Amino acid sequence: MNICSFFFGLTLVILFSGIHSATLTVKNNCPYTIWPATQTGGGAAQLSNTGFELVSQNSATLDTPASWSSGKLWARTQCSSDSSGRFTCATADCGSGQVECNGAGEVPPASLAEFTLGSADGTDTYDISLVNGFNLPVSITPQGGSGQNCTTTNCGVDINAECPSDLAIKDSNGGIIGCKSACAAFNEPKYCCTGTYNSPDTCKATNYSMFFKNKCPQAYSFAYDDHSSTFSCTGGPNYLITFCP
């Protein structure tokens, strides 16, 4: 499918072109503020609010357009505004200069929660992707629904703590706050699954992707890492996305 403390959470109510409605509840279990962001897939309209501040133990609700049937959610860290009012984040910034991303995607590294909801046969698919690297632990838990693979997918490990030095992103104090993918770090076709490597037959796991896979076996570690990385539900469940589960 690949297209990256206390609970109060953020709720997004989503309507899907008459197929089913779903609620995504976003929890910030991190002991610090994060700035979640969303991007709609397939050229459909963006959510009414594409980025927001989520303080630990805080909550917010977003109304969403009926056209939203696929997209991704991630969280930015260490964000602030400069003297001119330009908003930036140390990890997963979308480059909009504002809290809202306005349809822009994340700058790697970023841990992604990805969804395609309400397909023609009524199946939802979802995954955690580290293809764009890692910045925060994250999990996705279906609430309701059915199917053999309708279960929690979890990347609950702090990969930053063990990130290889050539992939590490550090803050001004030298602390590792993000772990880049090999594609972002080296921009080579064999790591990015581009050029002659742009197929399942030619793009294979590397030592770098296996580092992520070993830490989070249920998450995508490179573009064609489909084995054990995609989850699905029928029956129109809701979903819980937890940062720092």
- Over residues 202-208, mean pLDDT: 94
> Which pLDDT does position 70 carry in this prediction?
85
Q: Largest alpha-carbon pair distance within the chain?
A: 52
The reported pTM is 0.89
C-alpha pair distances (Å), 168 with each of 92, 163, 193, 220? 14, 6, 21, 19
Which stretch of DSSP H or E encloses residue 233? strand 231-233
Q: Which two tokens stand for residue 213?
A: 């896979």
SS3 20: strand
Using 50, 70 and 90 to split pLDDT, how confident is the model at 238? confident
8 A C-beta contact, residue 243 and residue 148: no
> Which pLDDT does position 199 carry in this prediction?
94
111-166 pLDDT tens trace = 999 988 877 788 989 999 999 999 999 999 999 999 999 999 999 999 999 999 99
Closest of 81, 72, 77, 112 to residue 93, by C-alpha: 77
Q: Which residue has the higher pLDDT, 120 or 169?
A: 169
Closest of 245, 23, 1, 233 to residue 129, by C-alpha: 1
Q: Give residue 57's region: left, alpha or beta (phi > 0; psi -120 to 50).
A: left
User: Cα 82 from chain centroid?
Assistant: 26
In a domain? residue 1: no
In the block, which residue shows the tokens 């990969």?
A: 159
Number of domains in the chain: 1
Residue 2 has pLDDT above 70, yes or no: no
State which residues form the domain around 134: 9-243
42-98 pLDDT tens trace = 888 887 789 999 999 886 766 555 566 788 999 999 999 999 999 999 999 999 999
Which stretch of DSSP H or E encloses residue 75? strand 70-81
In a domain? residue 4: no
In a domain? residue 18: yes
- Neighbouring C-beta atoms of residue 22, cutoff 10 Å: 25
> Which pLDDT does position 120 carry in this prediction?
73
Residue 1 has pLDDT above 60, yes or no: no
Dihedral Cα 108, 116, 17, 234, nearest 10 deg: -150
In a domain? residue 235: yes
- Over residues 204-233, mean pLDDT: 92
For 149, phi then psi, to 5°, come to -105, 20
Mean pLDDT, the chain, rounded, equals 87
- Which one-letter amino acid corresponds to residue 168? A
In a domain? residue 3: no
> Which pLDDT does position 20 carry in this prediction?
57
Specify the CATH number for the domain of residue 129: 2.60.110.10
User: Cα 33 from chain centroid?
Assistant: 17
In a domain? residue 116: yes
Using 50, 70 and 90 to split pLDDT, how confident is the model at 228? confident
Residues in the chain: 245
9-37 pLDDT tens trace = 444 444 433 345 677 788 999 999 999 99
